[in-house]
Amino acid sequence: MPNVFKNAKTISVSNSSADTVYTTPAATKTIILGAMICNKSAASRDVTVTWTDSSDSGNATSLLHEVPVPGDSSLEVLSGQKYVLEAGDLLKCLSSDDSASLDITVGVMEIT
């Protein structure tokens, strides 16, 4: 089973519907290594990150819920934990503001 390290990103996270940042490919398990959320605005913005479990009728679980990201800064999250995603699982992100000021980058390891 080879391991492949990858990055996934969403630029200008939406505030109207959650953006899919990463989808686990078929016949693959993915370990989330960490995520960096960057706020390009001077004002604080809230972010919500969810995991959608494809084996549980597509139910979503919040990993972060309306967590503030200070203005002109970045927030590293999900590091130090081991989040395992299975084939078809999704990682999504939603911003609290419509100014398109948040970017998210996620580091993962895919196991095939």
Burial-class residue 92 by CB neighbours within 10 Å (0-12, 13-18, 19+). buried
Domain count for the chain: 1
Q: What is the pTM of this model?
A: 0.93
pLDDT at 49: 97
pLDDT at 52: 96
pLDDT at 110: 98
Domain ranges, residue 47:
3-111
**pLDDT tens sequence across 64-91:** 999 999 999 999 999 888 899 999 999 9
For residue 103, the one-letter residue type is D
Stretch (H or E) spanning 53: strand 45-53
CATH number of 105's domain: 2.60.120
Q: Residue 51: which of 9, 98, 94 has the closest Cα?
A: 94
N residues, the chain: 112
Tokens of 33: 């290594």
Tokens of 63: 């990993």
Ranges of the chain whose pLDDT falls below 50: none
